[in-house]
Amino acid sequence: MPLTPTISIVTTVYDARDYLPRTVQSILAQTFTDFELLLVEDGSPNGCGELCDRLARTDPRIRVFHKPNGGPASAANVGLDNARGAYIGFVDSDDLIESDMYERLYNAIQATGVRIAACTGDAIDEDDRPIPGREVAIRTHGVRDAEDLLVETFQTGSFYGPLSWNKLFDIRTFRDKGVRYDESMFFGDDASVLHLVFEGERAVCLPDVLYHYRTRRGQMTDAASFPPRKLDDLRMYWGWLQYFAARPGSADIYRWAVAWYWRAYYHFTCLAGAAGNLKELQPAFAPHKAHLTAILPDILRCRHLPAFEKLRAALFCLNPMLTYQLAAGWGRIAGPKPAKTRNEH
């Protein structure tokens, strides 16, 4: 393998012993062969470290890094720091990719002269079967401003844009801008920084389903479970909102970010209520409640929210628990359903 492969593929590994061999096999089967695979083992207690070492002995393109457990963002940063390729991609340790994914993403970058390429992803279950209706897709394909991908998230809830795993990046979009994943976050750590990667960039978006993300039974997207660290996503959405609030010429994107932050906050309240831990999570919600109250005037002026949502937001800021209880009793607790971020396995 050349010392400087064209593409570095980073897979962070924790508690994925049953799936990692299939993931690695799908990567090694790529029709684009000039790559290295970095397996960053994040202190997993169930033998994943030894499994990574065994897999590395089967192919010289695999490099293994062992580290104490520090979370997915710290593991991704190890991969980012040690990548030798001109381009970088990320594949979660229990997911699968089509054999021509990186060839098609790389060719799309070369054909258009942009520095980011993305593809559609779909969901598979524990037996690799597709789950209907769970695509991470986008409305408009071809070359577009990369920041438009965030706007589409605000407008539709699609996470095609701010995910790392359905993309190929020129590594300079990270390194030249000093972008690293936020190691204080467990959920949404990848999406939380990609607005910085996207700044000033164009991206080519493919409609093809080339990435298959796995949904396991009992994971955090289930209605019966709402882990407190899921509130990391609200931190991410607040970070996006502040970013666009400070950027000249981004007034409408800011309005979309305001609408999304309110809808996500309300949706998470509903999820925690359905899971039965809303009361105990009130201290964790409190900083976000303060944010919500601070932007209430912008919510009430937002052209992207209907009148009933503005009323609900105003009532919610006055008394969140009462508003939720009334809405739950009335059967009107619907909210946005964000797609899977990196750690929803």
Q: What is the pLDDT of residues 24-63, one digit of tens each?
A: 999 999 999 999 999 999 999 889 999 999 999 999 999 9
Two tokens at 32?
Answer: 């684009």
Q: State the pLDDT at residue 229.
A: 84
CA-to-CA distance for 40 and 37, rounded, in angstroms? 10
Q: Which residue has the higher pLDDT, 67 or 188?
A: 67
Q: At what angle do helices 20-28 and 48-56 cross, to 10 degrees?
A: 20
Q: Residue 82 and residue 63: Cα distance in Å, rounded?
A: 10
* Average pLDDT, integer, range 180-186: 90
Residue 95 main-chain phi, psi, to 5 deg: -100, 170
DSSP 44-94: -SSSHHHHHHHHHTT-TTEEEEEE----HHHHHHHHHHH--SSEEEE--TT
Helices then strands, counting H and E runs in the chain, come out as: 13, 9
- If one counts every other C-beta atom within 10 angstroms of the C-beta of residue 331, the result is 7
Query: pLDDT band at residue 20, thresholds of 50, 70 and 90?
Result: very high
pTM of the model: 0.90
List pLDDT tens digits, range 283-325: 999 999 999 999 999 999 999 999 999 998 998 898 877 776 6
Q: How far apart are CA 172 and CA 158, in angstroms?
A: 26
pLDDT for residue 181: 95
Q: Are 94 and 23 spatial neighbours (Cβ–Cβ below 8 Å)?
A: yes
Domains, the chain: 7-214 (3.90.550.10), 228-330 (no CATH)
pLDDT tens digits, one per residue of 205-230: 999 999 999 987 655 344 456 888 88
